[in-house]
């Protein structure tokens, strides 16, 4: 009797498998797929990609409502159409472009993450059919205590021989940044049982999320050898998901799924309150974990709109934002290490590596965040009624695409109490109109809360834009590569 029953189940199993389309692995060869599976011993990769496919099927058939279409039309009407600069890197100028071009984005959660089996249970649970895979679906749910897969005080890693020298350098810079701005120590180790292997898997940039246990991977393939990509992937390895997948993202962005590559719609899946804890921090368009407006586009049309439209070009930033740093400090309980110390102003908080010094919102610096951030730039006074102030930075030198990191020139513009500052972007030369202004641009903090990333401008169409501050202090930063920031900006300041 039991034999017969077993036989029937077997036939049923085969029937189910055949009814499903096989996962499309894109450009990956059979060897590569095997290698990918081997690199993820804590993930049943077939089960993972099958859940992604099922999630995609459901999202692809979800048509926008009439109201959503109307809202979208309204948003688009209010936006400037940017003439985008030609691509700098043939692999792509953003993570999503690189992974799409590499043909791997549709086999990764959010386009660049691999989830462990327990994470698949929690995050993709609704899209699993375990009769196919033989794994029991666990009734696993993260609670408000999420994140759970953290490293504690030390993040162990090593560089695989496959990693290029350039990628290694980018990773080292990103590691130094995360280490200096959190209480997590990054320690190189070939032997610690739990460690991250930085390696090169073809052209892909991706990571596991949080600490998996055992040896886990972080790939910086061709096109991924830049600070911002390494910083983003390490963000995943430390436990971050994407900004655009926050459970509350609908308050901040509108996804235009009509422009998304059909087999990648699932990359815009949202997390839930049970697996996403943002420590009460607000949505930040300038997060290093935020994709740009063209992420996974099928037609070069925008796939994401900022509900606060002026922040459209802030999305896709190449810098780790203040809120990224602040949230990572909350994740790893760094803030609790400084019950006493410096009195931070302008939204800063105590640096757990030295409680007498503050970590400041960008544009601000000094021990308590009351001074201008160090480096080039100046403190300016806006005197009414109108003052033309030329700000010239760097030289119009040749743009070097092989830059390693960014330099900022920071200005703090002040007006008398009770007045506002009006800035007009009079001239901008040497700019690069790339989403997120990832190569160079100007950032203006118009809000009086300077913890948020400011508004980024880097397109010709932005010339003539008038920005009025909420308060009487306005940080303005120029962002560019290397020691010299090519570019030339003239602002017209007025006191209102």
How many Cα atoms occupy the beta-carbon half-sphere of 51 within 13 Å?
A: 30
If we measure between CA atoms, which residue out of 480, 270, 366 comes closest to residue 488?
480
User: Which lies closer to Zn ion via its Cβ, residue 112 or residue 117?
Assistant: 112
DSSP designation for 103? T
Which one from 91, 225, 233, 407 is the annotated catalytic residue?
233
- Nearest-angstrom CA–CA distance, 374 and 365: 6
Beta bridge partners of residue 185, listed in sequence order: 154
What phi and psi, each to the nearest 5 degrees, are found at residue 135? -100, 135
- Nearest-angstrom CA–CA distance, 277 and 63: 29
Least distance in angstroms from the C-beta of 342 to Zn ion: 33
Whether 233 sits among the annotated catalytic residues: the reply is: yes
Determine contact, residues 435/313, Cβ cutoff 8 Å.
Answer: yes
The reply, when asked if residue 88 is annotated as ligand binding, is: no
| Binding mask of the shown chain, residues 101 to 140, with x at each position contacting Zn ion by CB under 5 A | -----------x----------------------------
User: Which lies closer to Zn ion via its Cβ, residue 105 or residue 493?
Assistant: 105
Least distance in angstroms from the C-beta of 104 to Zn ion: 13
- Nearest-angstrom CA–CA distance, 415 and 273: 42
Show Cβ contacts of residue 93 under 8 Å, excluding neighbours closer than 6 positions: 87, 434, 435, 438, 439
Least distance in angstroms from the C-beta of 479 to Zn ion: 21
User: Which lies closer to Zn ion via its Cβ, residue 112 or residue 225?
Assistant: 112
User: Which lies closer to Zn ion via its Cβ, residue 112 or residue 284?
Assistant: 112
Determine contact, residues 335/343, Cβ cutoff 8 Å.
Answer: no
User: Which lies closer to Zn ion via its Cβ, residue 112 or residue 324?
Assistant: 112
- Residue 10 burial (C-beta neighbours within 10 Å; 0-12, 13-18, 19+): exposed
Q: How many residues bind Zn ion (CB under 5 A)?
A: 1
Nearest to Zn ion by Cβ — which residue? 112
Pull the structure tokens for residue 472.
Answer: 């009487």
Least distance in angstroms from the C-beta of 291 to Zn ion: 8
- Nearest-angstrom CA–CA distance, 304 and 287: 15
Least distance in angstroms from the C-beta of 99 to Zn ion: 9
Radius of gyration of the chain measured on its C-alpha atoms: 24
If we measure between CA atoms, which residue out of 77, 73, 55 comes closest to residue 64?
73
| Binding mask of the shown chain, residues 423 to 452, with x at each position contacting Zn ion by CB under 5 A | ------------------------------
- Nearest-angstrom CA–CA distance, 496 and 493: 10
If we measure between CA atoms, which residue out of 358, 362, 364 comes closest to residue 340?
358
Least distance in angstroms from the C-beta of 199 to Zn ion: 17
Task: Report the SS3 class of residue 121.
Answer: helix
Please enumerate, by residue number, every residue annotated as part of a binding site.
232, 236, 242
Residues at the contact surface with Zn ion, assessed by CB under 5 A: 112
Q: Which residues are catalytic?
A: 233
Which segments are annotated as binding site for Zn(2+)? 232, 236, 242
């Amino acid at each position: 009797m039991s034999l017969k029953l077993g036989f029937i189940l077997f036939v049923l199993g085969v029937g189910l498998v055949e009814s499903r389309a096989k996962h499309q692995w894109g450009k990956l060869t059979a060897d590569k797929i095997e290698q990918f599976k081997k690199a993820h011993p804590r993930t049943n990769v077939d089960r993972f990609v099958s859940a992604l496919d099922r999630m995609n099927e459901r999202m692809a058939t979800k048509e926008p409502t009439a109201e959503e279409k109307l809202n979208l039309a309204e948003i688009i009407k209010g936006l400037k159409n940017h003439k985008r600069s030609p691509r700098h890197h043939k692999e792509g100028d953003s993570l999503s472009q690189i992974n799409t071009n590499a043909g791997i984005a549709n086999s990764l959660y959010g386009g660049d993450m691999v989830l462990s089996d327990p994470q698949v249970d929690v995050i993709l649970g609704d899209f699993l059919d375990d009769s196919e895979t033989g794994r029991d679906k666990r009734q696993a749910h993260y609670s408000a205590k999420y994140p759970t897969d953290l490293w504690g005080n030390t993040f162990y890693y090593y560089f695989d021989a496959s990693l290029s020298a350039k990628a290694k350098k980018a990773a080292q810079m990103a590691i130094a940044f995360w280490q200096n701005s959190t209480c997590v120590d990054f320690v190189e180790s070939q032997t610690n049982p739990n460690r991250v292997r930085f390696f090169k898997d073809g052209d892909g940039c991706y990571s596991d999320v949080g600490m998996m246990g055992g040896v886990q991977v972080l790939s910086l393939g061709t096109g991924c050898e830049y600070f911002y990509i390494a910083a983003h992937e390490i963000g995943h390895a430390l436990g971050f998901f994407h900004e655009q997948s926050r459970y509350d993202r609908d308050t901040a962005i509108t996804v235009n799924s009509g422009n998304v590559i059909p087999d990648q719609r699932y990359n815009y899946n949202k997390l839930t309150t049970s697996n996403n804890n943002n420590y009460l921090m607000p949505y930040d368009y300038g997060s290093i974990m935020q994709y740009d407006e063209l992420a996974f586009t099928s037609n070069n049309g925008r796939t994401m709109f900022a509900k606060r439209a002026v922040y459209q070009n802030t999305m896709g930033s190449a810098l780790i934002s203040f809120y990224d740093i602040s949230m990572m400090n909350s994740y790893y309980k760094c803030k609790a290490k400084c019950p006493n110390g410096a009195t931070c102003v302008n939204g800063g908080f105590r640096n757990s590596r030295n409680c007498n010094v503050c970590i400041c919102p960008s544009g601000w610096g000094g021990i308590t965040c009351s001074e201008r951030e160090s480096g080039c730039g100046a403190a300016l006074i806006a005197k009414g009624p109108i003052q033309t102030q030329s700000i010239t930075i760097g030289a119009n030198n040749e743009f070097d695409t092989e830059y390693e990191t960014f330099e900022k020139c920071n200005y703090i513009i002040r007006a008398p109490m009770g007045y506002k500052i009006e800035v007009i972007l009079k001239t901008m030369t040497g700019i690069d109109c790339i989403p997120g202004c990832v190569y160079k641009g100007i950032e203006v903090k118009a809000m009086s809360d300077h913890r948020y990333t400011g508004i980024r401008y880097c397109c010709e169409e932005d010339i003539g834009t008038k920005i009025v501050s909420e308060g009487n202090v306005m940080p303005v930063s120029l962002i560019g590569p290397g020691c010299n920031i090519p570019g030339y900006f003239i602002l017209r300041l007025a006191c209102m």
